[in-house]
Amino acid sequence: MAQIELQLSLPRDARYVGILRNVSHTLLHDLDVPPDYIDDVTVALSEACGNVIRHARGTEEYGVRLMLDATRCQIEVCDLGPGFDDTWLQERAALEEGAAAEDGRGLALLQALMDDLQFVREDETTKVRLVKRWDAVGLGPPST
């Protein structure tokens, strides 16, 4: 099965999130991913990047990896700093408790928009992994 992978290193600056959102939207649209899925992925990608920009410490950049195939999109947003701060921990606790308070809504939004959400800490990197699945789209084997 064909696969497309984008890997970017971005400055921890909010103005680059819009560029990333536009690139991902165009790519998904050109592969005939249904519009609702495109919206879910671009909003979740923006939120995950925004979390790194707001909460990461000790680094001026972060990584984004976008992997697409005919049935899903997988996103990894990698914080190259020392890990999450207390604000993030409070949001995560609110999410786990099902709180409707304003803190924690970003993580609840990620969970609502995507099919899978994971937080992984490995090799001095914190990764947020997001997966959105769909029926087969325009990334199948080439026609002959």
CATH of residue 80: 3.30.565.10
With respect to residue 143, please indicate whether it lies within any of the assigned structural domains.
no
pLDDT of 144 reads 52
* Residue 111 belongs to a domain: yes
pLDDT score for 27: 93
Residues 95, 101, 104, 110: is their CA dihedral positive or negative?
positive
Looking at residue 45, its pLDDT comes to 96
**Distances in Å between the alpha carbon of 68 and those of 12, 61, 63, 95, 123?**
24, 23, 17, 28, 24
Share of residues in the chain with pLDDT > 70 (%): 78
Does 100 fall in a domain? yes
**If pLDDT is split at 50, 70 and 90, which confidence band does 2 have?**
confident
User: 70 lies in a domain?
Assistant: yes
Q: So what's the pLDDT on residue 90?
A: 59
Q: Does residue 141 sit within a domain? A: no
- pLDDT, one tens digit per residue, over 4-20 is 999 999 999 999 999 99
Helix or strand or coil: residue 48? Answer: helix
Per-residue pLDDT of 20-64, as tens digits, reads: 999 999 999 998 999 999 999 999 999 999 988 887 777 889 999
- Establish if 102 belongs to a structural domain: yes
- Domain assignment present for 138: no
Band of pLDDT at residue 120, cut at 50, 70 and 90 = confident
Tell me, yes or no, whether 144 lies in a domain. Answer: no
Average pLDDT over residues 88-112: 65
Number of domains in the chain: 1
In the predicted structure, residue 73 carries a pLDDT above the cut 70: yes
Domain enclosing residue 16, as ranges: 3-133
**Average pLDDT of the chain?**
83
Residue 102 has pLDDT above 60, yes or no: no
Residue 93 has pLDDT above 70, yes or no: no
Three-state DSSP class for residue 37:
helix
